[in-house]
Structure 1
Amino acid sequence: MVRILTTLSRNVTGVWGAEGERWLAGLPALLDGLAADWDLVLEAPYDLTFHYVAPVRQADGTPAVLKVGFELEVEAAALRAFDGRGAVRPLRFDATRGAILLEQVTPGHRLRDLVPADDPAAMAVLADLMRQLHVPPPASHGLPPVLSQVGALDRHRGPVPAGLVSQAAALMRSLCASASREAVLHGDLHHDNVLAGTRAPWLAIDPHGLVGDPGYEVGSILFNPHPDDRDPALTALVPARLRQLSAALGEPEDRLAAWGFVKAVLSSVWTADTGGPLTRALDVAHLLRPT
């Protein structure tokens, strides 16, 4: 428990600074208030990264999951748009306190357990989820456009090679401008954010929530799971993944590869800007870099 909370503390203060410190100091009282107001019994939290997430029991004994943290408005908006199709259902949301109550997915093991033993099966699951998730944006959806992320590339002056970053920024603008349609996107769809369920065989969790070209969605898939493992054999899976996803989604393979390059560079920039070590995303970026 101490280790879990130490990880949460380090991440929250690293991203949100003094505001994060104040949030951490008030977290016990915040959890007590939510438990009382929503009539919940809190259990031990999951492994924590940037949010406090724990299984709970509702008043009638039904299990659920409580997630508390920063910037959950966009996640809640994406889940409302998905409306349970391919994604976990939101049960309650409190924007003021930054809390969302979610259905609990059981048995809950992650899609990453299929990789690399059966990578084509994992790709088939992810393609099926994309077909379910990519609904037309509803009116007043409150979700940011994909292009809003290009600022991270424009501002980066860190360890990711400048040539890669500038090329990714230009390509991202071009891909957004040439998109044939827009859809609601998960924004961080990959093996760790897909759980085995009973309501549906697989359900996505933890959406970033975006609106834009559906091709963007493949990016995170290409350097997951276990992006910290820079084993060349995992990077070597990328071409076959692109071929399979292109055929399953009816999207041009070269366009998906371009989005894969953009997202791999973007992920590398985000990691570097928060002080983390560069991951397999950078290897994928080099592999997919347009010539």
Structure 2
Amino acid sequence: MIEVPDEARRRLVVRFGPGATDWLDELPALVGTLARRWGLQIDGPVLSGNSAIVLPADRGVLKLHPDGGIAADEAAALAHWSAASTVVDLLEHDEGALLLARVRPGTAVPTALGTDPAVLPALVDLWTTPGAPDVPPLVDRVAFWHEKVREHLDDERVRGVIPPEVLDRGAGEAEVLAARPGHEGLVHGDLHAGNLLTGPAGAVVVDPRPCRGDRTFDLVDPVLVEGRPERVVPELARRLDGLDPDLLHAWCRALAPANAIAALRTDPGSARTAALVALALRD
């Protein structure tokens, strides 16, 4: 019996609309079908993110999306990166469902991502893998993210700190950057600390929201994990051949307002949040 926690249901309905309720009601039957087809034994409780239900199984991790297009894009990206040991392995894929290798111990990487020697090989692999499958353009991902962030401008922790015009300015700058030529290829699209897990030999990348465009975008979260890009960009420039430090700084400035809003909602009193707010409010 698959029991989806109420909070997971709420997040999926908010993300995908009322149609997600029907999908959730049919989920136990879907899991049973996939378990028989792929020879799985579900061995843990339901986990969830903002756009998927995740179930641990004996052969790996079963990930199910209400939107089959999201799953298809993720599968295409993971297949594209299949030669990279720093990216989670895709074992099976069907419409709306992925079976992924389990990453052990699988805890989130806790340190300064841009310079962590355990993380740098993953950044190098994403940076150097040529080409890209047919996934949406980066400009669409940038617009979607700012649209979601805009919903939180009235949060009491954000209101009066990041004005709407500051987010608008950053969104406009990011749209211009996404449309211009950069280090073209497959972009992970959501490379924050929670999507870099500790594996036996270093960090393993999971949960892409893939798009095509300037891979410099993927470096922003690793750089801004401390809120001070000037500390991290020079080291990345030494390690990533072809990285344009000025372009990376421009991406950090453009995305700082959205990052600051997220930080104000989750960690309002930290030094990192203060640094992100200062970067967002620059003249």
Provide TM-score, normalisation by structure 1.
0.76
Instruction: State how 1:97-136 maps to structure 2 within 5 Å.
Output: 98-112=96-110, 115=111, 119=112, 123-134=116-127, 135-136=129-130
Instruction: State how 1:91-240 maps to structure 2 within 5 Å.
Output: 91-95=91-95, 98-112=96-110, 115=111, 119=112, 123-134=116-127, 135-138=129-132, 141-152=133-144, 153=146, 156=150, 159=153, 161-198=163-200, 200-224=201-225, 234-235=226-227, 237-240=228-231
Structure 2, unaligned stretches of length 5 or more? 154-161
Q: Identity, % of aligned pairs? A: 25
* 2:181 maps to amino acid: A
Alignment counterpart, residue 237 of structure 2, candidates 246, 259, 262: 246
Change (3 A) 1:157 1:30: closer
Change (3 A) 1:254 1:279: farther
Question: Partners of 2:273 and 2:250 in 1: how far apart?
Answer: 14
* 2:103 maps to amino acid: V
Change (3 A) 1:256 1:181: closer
* 1:109 maps to amino acid: T
Corresponding residue SS for 1:125: coil
Q: CA deviation at 1:5?
A: 1.4
Q: CA deviation at 1:161?
A: 2.4
**Is this contact kept in 1: 2:114–2:219, CA < 8 A?**
no
Question: Partners of 1:222 and 1:206 in 2: how far apart?
Answer: 19
Structure 1, unaligned stretches of length 5 or more? 58-62, 225-233
Question: Partners of 1:154 and 1:37 in 2: how far apart?
Answer: 38
Corresponding residue SS for 2:236: helix
Corresponding residue SS for 2:134: coil
Change (3 A) 1:44 1:264: farther
Q: CA deviation at 1:262?
A: 2.8
> 2:264 aligned with 1:262, yes or no?
no
Instruction: Report the aligned-residue RMSD.
Output: 3.2
Q: CA deviation at 1:285?
A: 5.4
Provide TM-score, normalisation by structure 2.
0.78
Q: Which residue pairs with 1:231 in the alignment?
A: none
Corresponding residue SS for 2:5: helix
Q: CA deviation at 1:125?
A: 3.5
Question: Partners of 1:65 and 1:54 in 2: how far apart?
Answer: 6
Change (3 A) 1:72 1:266: farther
User: Per-residue displacement from partner, 1:29-62 (whole Å, max 9, x unpaired)?
Assistant: 11111112212100113642232212212xxxxx
